[in-house]
Copies of this chain bind each other. A is one copy, B any other.
């Protein structure tokens, strides 16, 4: 049989779960991983250990792959162009991916296609930040390095010009944004294939703790139908305009005055879509696989009234396996997803999914399990 080979760059949990989703499709999966111990490298058969920043390594890896896709957004744009010039399909391609790599490019492009964003400007020093603040409602202002940030890293909320010095120390361009008065964060997840088919998952509510995703509720409770439709259409439009292939997560602010503004873009399976593994007809991982292979996409609709995902973070308690006994006995419907990572405080080492008809119950079960695995709940 002539089943294709997907080459995935990066050995994190997204690659691990993409491999899991590819197995039933009979897809051959090849991994480029930093170490043999990385999350995905533990469970994939065909692993190349190497540095994705080295073009020769990438080229050697790409040989024999039918398509290249990504666990993360850190592969240099020029390397992706070189692979494309070698004739290897790169999905998403460099022209799309740059919008998830560089927040300055992303904001400029979203402005150009009329997508609502927080007020923003590239700033060059603290005085420039003060000027940006004065043009709006003053401090606080959000500062972000345009490249390299994630999970709250590379992001500062500054209350004065004195506090605005740190972000400039790295020598990376800095983007200033208004601190949005939001009531909650939402995420619109869509998947798009090369021939232009696209599907939209229900818009979810995403709750962050210390800048890290903690809880996702699918669908977002009490979300106005018009606003949900607007968010989905916005995400589909961004995917189309930017030429995204594969999964696109659009992180959104829902403002107090009833608007939605784009916060961040991610062009890969995303934490806000992990609920879909147990809560949707087709998971984000399965649809990402189908998209990068230009296969027809699967149904993104939910299978339950409510699905809740809660991340399992590393705590002070290194042995999560022994917590399985309690968690599984307490809730035989619980879906556990561990990433095979060593526990470090605050590190995402897994997630749990629960689903059902009663949101309070579904939330309580997921929170209890995640807390018990982390060690913050002990009964």
Interfacial residues, chain A to chain B (CB-CB below 8 A): 1-4, 16-17, 19-20, 23-26, 28-29, 41-45, 47, 277, 281-282, 290, 295-299, 303, 318-322, 324-325, 328-329, 332-340, 342-343, 350
Contacts and interface: CB of A to CB of B under 8 A. Distances in A.
A331 to B, nearest CB: 9
A3 B340 contact: yes
Contact of A1 (B44, B299, B321, B325): B321
Nearest to A36: B45
A242 to B, nearest CB: 24
Contacts of A3: 321, 338, 340
Task: Indicate the member of A24, A303, A319 with the most B CB atoms within 10 Å.
Answer: A24
Contacts of A25: 324, 336, 338
B295 A324 contact: yes
How many copies the complex holds: the figure is: 2
Contact of A26 (B17, B47, B297, B350): B350
Given A1-B318, A321-B3, A340-B3, A328 B24 contact: no
B20 A24 contact: yes
Given A318-B1, A343-B1, A299 B24 contact: no
A24 B336 contact: yes
Task: Indicate the member of A1, A16, A26 with the most B CB atoms within 10 Å.
Answer: A26
Contacts of A322: 2
A323 to B, nearest CB: 10
A42 B43 contact: no
A159 to B, nearest CB: 40
B45 A333 contact: no
Task: Indicate the member of A47, A295, A343 with the most B CB atoms within 10 Å.
Answer: A295
A335 B23 contact: no
B281 A333 contact: yes
Contact of A296 (B277, B299, B303, B332): B332
B28 A23 contact: no
B23 A332 contact: no
A325 B295 contact: yes
A281 B354 CA distance: 11
Contacts of A333: 281-282, 298-299
B1 A296 contact: no
